[in-house]
């Protein structure tokens, strides 16, 4: 939560991140976007940031012409299936997530903090099917998707909601 257009978390955002962080972790690796609010969220959750990636910071050119960031998983899946900018962006996000997974030990866990639209694209890019997320609305503050991998393949998915 931030007071747009400001780049930093509000006190309500810090409080939410603290609450979510108190029941999360531990993590072998914490990766955030380069935007201040993502880094601040990890710190407020109680986790040191290992790396910040530009790829997690904003959607690629042309994606917002195909879909609104807050359209939800079903709309994202439809946009990705059309094969345009959204599909290319989802593949890039999936590659980023798989790279992070490869960097942690077997059985390890990583926390990735990015932004609305980016979460949905990355999760769907990793999934062969949209099972478990097909009808889900977009991810709001401190919400996301837990992807469980066996090597490069997602074997299970769980929505993480704050309520």
> CATH: 3.30.720.120, 3.40.50.2300, 3.40.50.1240, 2.160.10.10. Which one for 11-160?
3.40.50.1240
pLDDT tens digits, residue range 35-52? Answer: 999 999 999 999 999 999
Q: Is the pLDDT of residue 129 over 70?
A: no
Return all residues near 120 (Cβ < 8 A) that are at least 6 apart. 72, 73, 76, 138, 139
For the entire predicted model, the pTM comes to 0.91
Domain ranges across the chain: 11-160
Q: Which two tokens stand for residue 17?
A: 């991140």
Q: Cβ(18)–Cβ(141) under 8 Å?
A: no
Per-residue pLDDT, 134: 67
DSSP bridge pairs for 3: none
Q: What is the Cα–Cα distance from 95 to 21, expressed in whole angstroms? A: 26
Q: What is the pLDDT of residues 88-103, one digit of tens each?
A: 999 999 999 999 999 9
Measured between alpha carbons, how far is 114 from 54 in angstroms, rounded to an integer?
10
């Amino acid at each position: 939560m931030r007071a747009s257009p400001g780049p930093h978390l509000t006190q309500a955002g810090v409080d939410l991140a603290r609450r979510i962080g108190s029941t999360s972790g531990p993590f072998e690796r914490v990766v955030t976007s380069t935007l201040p609010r993502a880094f601040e969220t990890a710190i407020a959750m109680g986790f040191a940031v290992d790396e910040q990636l530009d790829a997690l910071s904003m959607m690629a050119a042309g994606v917002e012409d195909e879909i609104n960031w807050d359209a939800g998983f079903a709309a994202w899946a439809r946009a990705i299936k059309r094969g345009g900018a959204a599909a290319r962006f989802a593949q890039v996000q999936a590659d980023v997530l798989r790279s992070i997974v490869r960097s942690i030990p077997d059985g390890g866990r990583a926390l990735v903090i990015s932004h609305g639209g980016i979460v949905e694209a990355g999760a769907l890019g990793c999934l062969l099917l949209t099972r478990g997320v097909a009808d889900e609305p977009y991810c709001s503050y401190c919400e996301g998707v837990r992807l469980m991998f066996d090597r490069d393949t997602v074997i299970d998915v769980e929505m993480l909601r704050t309520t």
